[in-house]
Structure 1
């Protein structure tokens, strides 16, 4: 009886989900077709292009009277933009809704749109999650360490990330924790907030991460140590150790993290797994100190700043310019 009831509930749940997806995709295709017809009508001659806005306004007045507010001038204009951004109907995902696409068509870069579309589909992002990733400038932050083609290929699952630098973000944006930037708090407050919002934190970490442990104890002979947070990344097939620091990190902090990574590599990881990654999640850092403390060809230790608010576009541009300047300085030193 119990198993039968559970099976029936599963069938009903899956059927309802499937029906909802079908309705949502049909709605998306409807807006695409509307956009196509408007664009094709505009392209018939210069005169039509001139009165494009008036045409949409007049069409909207008639359609709203017949079918309601879903056909407002704003939605018709969005339909037009939708078709121009995605002119090939087969490129549309049945997993994404019209509301997802309204977020995507705001992006004026085709590569960026393709990246977020692939990520949203692959990770089953809600509209709210998609908006957060766009607003936190995920695409731009990933580009700090790799080229556009690589980012897009990984997002579309054409390639798997092979280097930790392809997944570790700097900075990490943790506005969802609800901590005030000016407030006084301790490392355990940050850790507790992360655990409370673990789903959002995993989303910020990126693809393939799963939570393993907090305050993981290590016993090295008579000494005891604790790693703040332990994750595993199935794409890279390795452990990822996070150490939280509320202040500017020092070379001693990096040395301690190196010890944790060495311990995991020698005592915990299996032969088929890749070398452990260590990440210092800190409030501030000196990039030069990090660079000179770590081995020249380091691929295991990373220092990533966290911020408790979404960055503005100006802040991101400043970070990119700072990063590029740091790379140029390092090249000149070499």
Structure 2
């Protein structure tokens, strides 16, 4: 029976705010319920996998027991889709990868099962798996974003840029600033050849700003391109300006299509001074500069940064850096992974 429409009268004062608060509470409760269900499911899978491991080791049961168990559990619980032989083998591998219950409860069980399978399939050992699991939790990555960061070797590139942050920023901020920068940055999504000019790269980055923000990492917010600065009546333009929400500071990014030269830092330093005096709020931290160049001599970069009083970093970028053909063919596509995980 259809619900009769209710004749609405004007709401009393404060009703809209109260309704908004209730909606927020309901959404939060729904999210907590979903997370609780996911946590219990992942813990159950780990316990089943651990039991399989222990019984195979203690009783000498062979691999066939997994197929028998999968069949019997599907008969007993026909409404549950997670008891395929393939997923049971993943449970065993999951328990084998994480033998300590404490880590599973505190980290792995907070990630969806599909995320855990990506960590198992695509990463070689516990150290890298722990790092990517922590990043996925902290930044709320989807499975596709997790796959992308693994394929792009985010761990190896994070915190690798040459900087002077340790000497120019207080310890907590310098650590976060250093970890926020990579080397090299990968701009494969631009589809540009190595011969592209600075303005070509800059225009393409703005056109693909969503992908660019993913490559920059969590915390970056786009402010503008070719941002005008008027200094003493002369006009200057910053290539790209961002704001980092965690560092609470502006980040000036300058692009150079060629190799790094020490004089590039003079221009970057000028922009940092101008932004600090004209743009940043008194509550903001000092502006950080990032110079992106096609190549750099690491020793020259370290020397050039040595006497700079402003926080700066130097990193390379890669326009086209495809995987070798033989490796590409051995890796499943995101669509294949989603299709397989959907069958679990």
Same fold (TM over 0.5): yes
Write the distance in 2 (CA, Å) between the matches of 1:227 and 1:234. 20
Give RMSD over aligned pairs. Answer: 3.3
Which of the residues 28, 31, 38 maps onto 2:52?
Answer: 38
Which of 1 and 2 has greater Rg? 2
Write the distance in 1 (CA, Å) between the matches of 2:308 and 2:263. 19
Does the residue aligned with 1:262 lie in a helix, a strand or coil?
A: helix
Write the distance in 1 (CA, Å) between the matches of 2:309 and 2:125. 33
Write the distance in 2 (CA, Å) between the matches of 1:160 and 1:43. 47
Does the residue aligned with 2:226 lie in a helix, a strand or coil?
A: strand
Within-5 A mapping of 1:55-204: 55-63=65-73, 67=78, 70-86=82-98, 87-88=100-101, 89-92=104-107, 95-106=110-121, 107-142=123-158, 144=160, 160-163=172-175, 164-175=177-188, 178-182=189-193, 185-204=196-215
Per-residue Cα deviation, 1:247-293 (whole angstroms, up to 9, x for no partner)? 33333333211211222234444455433211112222333443333
Q: Match of 1:292? A: 303
Q: Is the 8 A contact 2:161 2:183 kept in 1?
A: no
Assess, with a 3 A threshold, how the Cα gap between structure 1 residues 217 and 144 changes in structure 2: closer, same or farther. closer
Which structure 1 segments of 5+ residues have no match? 147-158, 314-334
Which structure 2 segments of 5+ residues have no match? 1-10, 163-170, 325-344
Q: CA deviation at 1:189?
A: 3.5
Q: CA deviation at 1:63?
A: 4.3
Within-5 A mapping of 1:225-240: 225-240=236-251
Write the distance in 2 (CA, Å) between the matches of 1:30 and 1:310. 41
Write the distance in 1 (CA, Å) between the matches of 2:33 and 2:115. 18
Aligned residues: 295
Does the residue aligned with 1:38 lie in a helix, a strand or coil?
A: helix
Write the distance in 2 (CA, Å) between the matches of 1:288 and 1:212. 32
- For normalisation by structure 2, the TM-score amounts to 0.72
Q: Is the 8 A contact 2:159 2:182 kept in 1?
A: no
Write the distance in 2 (CA, Å) between the matches of 1:65 and 1:145. 55
Assess, with a 3 A threshold, how the Cα gap between structure 1 residues 197 and 28 changes in structure 2: closer, same or farther. farther
> Is 215-224 or 241-250 further displaced after alignment?
241-250
